[in-house]
Amino acid sequence: MSNNDGSLLDSDFLNKNPMEIFQQWYNTAKVHEPKSFPLFTLSTVDEMNKPHSRTMALIKYDLNGFKFCSNGNSPKANHLRNNQFASLCFYWPNCQRQVVVEGTTEEMPRHQVEAIFANGTNIEGKITNIALEFQSEPIASYDRVNEKREEIRRWMLFNANSLPCPGYIVGYNLIPDKIEFLKFNENYAHERIQLRRNDDKTANSGNESWIYQWLTP
């Protein structure tokens, strides 16, 4: 997806679906950012139009969008119920690349959320999700978190170590309408290409309903 000096080319984006391009960048990040490649910053807006951001982990992606899960009692879930628009930002410093996605979120079907939870291998993460029903809730001390986690561990001893998916875990799919690919350069003349769903005839043809356009750094 570049020439010999790593620069982006129009041919990288011509007749391409942005999700296919994302897959190539994501796979590269897996190699160079083995611990942090699935992390992204999710930005939402509250009822007062104030922005909020936090780091999340990508569950999966496909041609239909980007999937992630959250606590349905969290502030971010309230934001998305009131305003479905959100943005994701993937930053891979070792690759000198960034991808920014803007789009609309929709809740995933319950059976898909339960399947994701059941297939997850992070047992400690599951215990925390079950123990803390209300995310971002004020607590007297961090000891309360450990107490709740121990309660779940004791419960597991009498329930065949099973960990059912809590009803308050919600899955989201962000359907992109704009994706920007950025390659950082040492001279600060960063290369930016934006793909979006639009009827702008001044832009270049991408794939199907997508068009692409170069942006100034």
In which band, very low, low, confident or very high, does the pLDDT at 4 lie, cut at 50, 70 and 90? Answer: very low
pLDDT of res. 5:
54
Mean pLDDT of 154-173: 86
Asked if the model's pLDDT at residue 132 lies above 50, the reply is yes
DSSP label of 166: P
Asked if the model's pLDDT at residue 205 lies above 80, the reply is no
Strand pairing class (97-107; 169-183): antiparallel
Beta bridge partners of 53: 43
pLDDT of res. 3:
47
Mean of the per-residue pLDDT values for the chain? 89
CB crowding 11-43: b at 16 or more within 10 Å, else e: ebbeebbbbebbeebbebbeeebeebbbbbebb
Angle at 185 between CA 182 and CA 186, to 5 degrees: 155
In which band, very low, low, confident or very high, does the pLDDT at 67 lie, cut at 50, 70 and 90? Answer: very high
Asked if the model's pLDDT at residue 198 lies above 80, the reply is no
One-letter amino acid at 90 equals F
pLDDT of res. 63:
93
Helices (H), the chain: 18-32, 75-82, 110-119, 123-131, 143-157
Other Cβ atoms closer than 10 A to 111: 8
Q: In residues, how long is the chain?
A: 217
pLDDT of res. 94:
97
What domains lie within the chain, and their CATH numbers? 10-121+169-215 (2.30.110.10)
Asked if the model's pLDDT at residue 104 lies above 70, the reply is yes
Joined together, the tokens standing for residue 51 give 């922005």
Mean pLDDT of 110-120: 92
Mean pLDDT of 130-137: 82
Strand extents, DSSP E, the chain? 39-45, 51-57, 60-62, 65-71, 85-92, 97-107, 169-183, 191-197, 204-205, 210-215
- Among candidate residues 98, 116, 102, 104, the one with its CA nearest the CA of residue 191: 98
Pick from 108-112, 129-133, 164-168, 171-175: least confident: 129-133
pLDDT of res. 134:
79
Asked if the model's pLDDT at residue 158 lies above 70, the reply is yes
Higher-confidence position of 93 and 205: 93
